[in-house]
Every structure is written in structure tokens, then in C-alpha cells.
Amino acid sequence: MITAQPPVIPNSPDALPQIVQQLTPEQAPAALQRNDLGDFVKKLVLGHFVQKTIEENEAQHIVTGVQILDLQKNSTIVSHNADTPHFAASINKLPVTLTLLEALRSGTITMDQTVSWAVSDQRAGAGVYDQPGAPTQAKVKDVLHDLLNRSGNTAVRIIVNQLLGGAAAVNNRWAQIPELANTRLQPLDSNRFYVGNSTPREAMWTIGQLVKAQDQYSSFIKQSLQTNIYTDVGVRSQLAGNDYIVLVNKVGLLD
């Protein structure tokens, strides 16, 4: 049996640009997992790989927004249409979580508090409370876990309507945050809403705010996100088996 050999990538800046440009889409993820390559090389590989993906998308007239940051060095690896609003889908469950987090830290809501809702509030999805016959009462911590871990659609409705005063009230709070200038829910009436728009930069800022503290709430959020059920799509599917990586992520899918 003949197997393809991995590309030879020197861990040196001199010959890198041309070699990195020659990497195929299949070779780039493998290069990112190699322990013999330093951060400088991996950033070049990642930037090249993402840029090629952007080009492929936009050749099909798919507007693509990306922001990738090195948080340790506070530097940008890739930024493309970072301030262009997109329909965020479930990614906008993160700023909803951020608003709930403010209430939890202020003590106006507690994790063990019981919240109730009507059967008519139920929405289809992968969440525990999205299923037929699901309960209509739970503790806040269980609803929040369902929102983040299973991306529950009923859960976001519960949190926004029953705990945060509705979509319009949430939008009013976001309007006071300069870093969320484009992030909004889309109210349909006093009870119904779409999760709305955001930008790559604002989504990145939000997840940074959620996980940066060293308290019980950030720990709960990190654990819920890093163990989320979506292992077959997105970055978790590409980084499967790398136990040394602690990956906190949220996927937004539009059917």
C-alpha cells in the first residue's frame, strides 16, 4: 500500500511563504496538529487555509465574515468582513447568555431559581426542552446548560421572555454596549423573535466576555460549551482526538 507523505514544512520564516501556498486544503489541518511546527508557522498555515476557504465561498457569491485572534499575543491572524452583519443563528445565544450572566452576578436571578413556561413556548430543536412531552419547568442552570450544550431553541425563548423581559428589552440592553452595535434579536411580536444578526468581531468579543472570569458562572459556561453535542460539524469535528486542546465554541446553523 502506498500512502501520501506529509508535506515538508521548514520551521523557519525564510522559505515559508511559497511552501505554505502549496498546501492543499487536506494538508493544512494536519499541519496545524503537528508538534514539530512552531506558532509562527502554524499561524501562516491557518491564515492561508482560511483565506482559501473565503475565496472559495466568495466565488460562489457567499458573503463570508471571519475573525481569528491570538488571545495570548493579542494579535489578529485573520480578519475578513469582521464588521459585516450576518444572520447569526444560534451564535446569538451567546449575547443572550451574556445578558443573563449580568443578572446572575448581580443576584437578581439565581442558578437554582425555578422558571416556568407554557407548552406553546416550545420550539423544535435538539434541546431537552424542545422535545415532545418535555417539562415546562426547570432550574435556571438546567435551561442555561440546554441553551449552550444542546443549543436549545426553547431554552433561548425561556431565558429571553421569562427571565430577561422579552426581545425588545434585551435589544435595549445591547444598545448600551458599544461592542454589540450590530447584535440584535429580531422581534416578531411581544412573545416571538428570531435570534437575529451579529458580526464576527462582536461574536468573538462576546465569547471572550463569557469565559474570561474565574468564577462559578464562567466555569459553568465554559464546561457547557466545550462539551456541546455538535462533534460532527465545525471545529470540533476537525480537532477530534486532540485532548490537549480545550475548545470552547458555539455553532450557528441555518437550515
Per-residue confidence (pLDDT) for residue 19, from 0 to 100: 64
How does pLDDT run across 189-227, given as a tens digit for each residue?
989 999 999 999 999 999 999 999 999 999 999 999 989
Neighbours of 131 (CB within 10 A): 14
Can you spell out the DSSP letters for 163-229? IS--HHHHHHHHTT-GGGSS-EEEESSSS-EEEEEE-HHHHHHHHHHHHSS-SHHHHHHHHHHHT-S
Share of the chain above pLDDT 90, in %: 63
Taking the whole predicted model, whether its pTM rises above 0.75 is answered as yes
Per-residue confidence (pLDDT) for residue 1, from 0 to 100: 44
How does pLDDT run across 18-71, given as a tens digit for each residue?
666 677 767 777 777 777 778 878 888 888 888 888 999 999 999 999 998 887
End-to-end CA distance of the chain: 41
**pLDDT averaged over every residue in the chain:** 88
Helix (H, G, I), strand (E, B) or coil at 140: helix
Mean pLDDT on 156-184: 98
Neighbours of 97 (CB within 10 A): 24
How does pLDDT run across 58-99, given as a tens digit for each residue?
999 999 999 988 877 888 889 999 999 999 999 999 999 999
Q: With 0-12 CB in 10 A as exposed, 13-18 as middle and 19+ as buried, what is 101?
A: buried
